[in-house]
Amino acid sequence: MSTTQTTNVATEMPQSTRTAAFSTSGPPTSMAPNGTNAEHGHITIKKLHATFGAEVSGVDFSRPLDDETLAEIRAAAAKDFAQYGVLVFRKTGLDDESHIAFGRQLGELDDITPYLGAGRANRLNHVELFDVSNIATDGGLLNPDTARGQANKGNNLFHVDSSFNPRRAGYSLLLVHELPPPGMGGHTAFADTRAAFDDLPDDLKKELLERNYIANHSMWHSRKLAAPDFFADVEPTDYAFGRHQLVQKHEVSDRMNLYIAAHVHHLDWLEEKESRRIIDTLYEHATQPKYQVEIEWRDKGDLVLWDNTCTMHKAVGGDFLRKYRRDMRRVTVHDGSSTAWGLNDKTALRQGMP
C-alpha cells in the first residue's frame, strides 16, 4: 500500500481558519483541530507529512511582504522549521509581477535566457518565469511529440531544479495560472532527501561521508532517461556537467542532505557500473513513498515554495496532458549557501534547450 500523502487541507480545516487565511488583520487565526498547527506572528503553519512539508496561511500577498512576514516565511522554510522544505500557499492572488517580486525577496533570480538562446520562443513576458505549462506559444496545447513536449517528460522523474548548472537553484516558487478540471491529474510530488539520508543503513552512511563522492548532474541525462527514443542521439558527456557533493550539509537546518536527482549521470572516481549501482540504490531509497508528499493544486493562485537543496520533486502525470491546458509558471532563486556552486567554475554558462 502506498503511504504517499495527498493534501486536502482546506476541506479538513474549519471554516474560520479558511476565511482567515491571507489576512494579517484581525484576531490570530485559530488552531487546527489536529494539533499540528503552529502560530508564528502573522502566519499559521499546518504540517503535511511526518518529516516535511507544510501549508501556510495568514500571508497577505496583495502588497509586498513586510520584513517581519518575510522573516517568518524564511524561518518556516529553513531554520525554525527545518523539516518543512516545502511550503504551500493557497489562493495567493499573485500575478506575474508580484510572483517575481516575491521570488526576488528570497534571493537572486535565475532566468530562461539559455533556453531562448537555444531557440525556444517565450510565451510569457518575463525572462524570470520558467514556463512549466503544456501550452504552445500560440496558446494551444503543446504537441507532446515536439522537442519541448518530449523534454517535459523529464519533469516526471524526481529531480532538483538546475543542479546541472554551475550555480544550483535554492528556492523554486511554482504558481498556478490555469488548471485542468479536477480529477485529471497534474499534482506535484516532493521527496524529503534529508529524512532519506538519516534513514540510510549505518555502513552506507559511513561510506558516503568518508568517500565524499562528487555527483555529475546533466539535464541531457535526465531528458534521455525519460524519453530514450527521442533523445537517442544525445550524448550527455558532450555537454558540461554540474558537479556537486552527493552528500552535503543543508546549512540553514544544520542537517545532512542526500543531494541526488534524476540528473545524476555518474560519480567521480568510480567505474561506470559501480557508479550507477550507488546512484540507483540511493535514488530508489530516497523516492520511496514514505518520504513523499503529494500536493494537489486546487485553485488559480495556489503557490508552492520549495527548497531544492533539501528536497526533490516531480510532476505527477495525468489524463489532462493531451486534453486540457495546465498553465504553471516558476520563479527560481539561485542558492545562496556556501555550496551553491558546488565544484563548478563560477561562470555564466547554463544549459538550455529549444
To Fe ion, the closest distance from the beta carbon of 197 in angstroms equals: 20
**Residues in 271-330 at the binding interface with Fe ion, rule: CB under 5 A:** none
Per CB under 5 A, 131 contacts Fe ion: no
Smallest gap, in angstroms, from Cβ of residue 1 to Fe ion?
28
Nearest distance in Å: CB 104, Fe ion: 20
CB nearer Fe ion, residue 208 or residue 260: 260
The Cβ of residue 328 has, within 10 Å, a number of other Cβ atoms equal to: 22
CB of 154 to Fe ion, least distance (A): 9
User: Among residues 163 and 344, whose Cβ is nearest to Fe ion?
Assistant: 163
Residues 37 and 48 sit within 8 Å (Cβ to Cβ): no
Q: How far apart are the first and last CA of the chain?
A: 40
Residue closer to Fe ion by CB (options 58, 149) is 149
Helix (H) or strand (E) run with residue 233 in it = none
Indicate the SS3 state at residue 228. coil
CB closer to Fe ion, 110 vs 161: 161
Nearer to Fe ion, 13 or 173 (CB): 173
Q: Minimum CB separation from Fe ion for residue 66, in Å?
A: 30
In contact, 180 and 134? CB cutoff 8 Å: no
Alpha helices per DSSP H over 170-302? 193-198, 202-211, 219-226, 272-286
Residue 36's identity, in one-letter code, is T
Rounded to the nearest 10 degrees, what angle do helices 96-106 and 67-77 cross at? 70
CB 56 within 8 A of CB 89: yes
Cβ proximity to Fe ion: between 159 and 266 the closer is 159
Minimum separation from the CB atom of position 8 to Fe ion (A): 23
Segment (H or E) for 60:
none
Site string for Fe ion, 143-182 (x = CB under 5 A): ------------------x---------------------
What is the full DSSP assignment across 303-351? EEEEETTTEEEEE---GGGGTS--EEEEEEEEP-STTTTTTS---S---
Q: Decide whether 155 or 253 has the Cβ nearer to Fe ion.
A: 155
CB of 330 to Fe ion, least distance (A): 7
Residue 190 vs 291, nearer CB to Fe ion: 190
Size of the site for Fe ion (CB under 5 A): 1
Q: Which three cell numbers stand for residue 131?
A: 514556463
How many residues are there in the chain? 354
CA distances from 16 to 201, 215, 324 (A): 45, 48, 34
CB of residue 160 to Fe ion, shortest distance in Å: 7
Specify the residue, 128 or 161, whose C-beta has the smaller distance to Fe ion. 161
Minimal CB distance to Fe ion: which residue? 161
CB of 159 to Fe ion, least distance (A): 6
Quick one: residue 181, left, alpha or beta (phi over 0 = left, psi -120 to 50 = alpha)? beta
Residues that bind Fe ion (CB under 5 A): 161
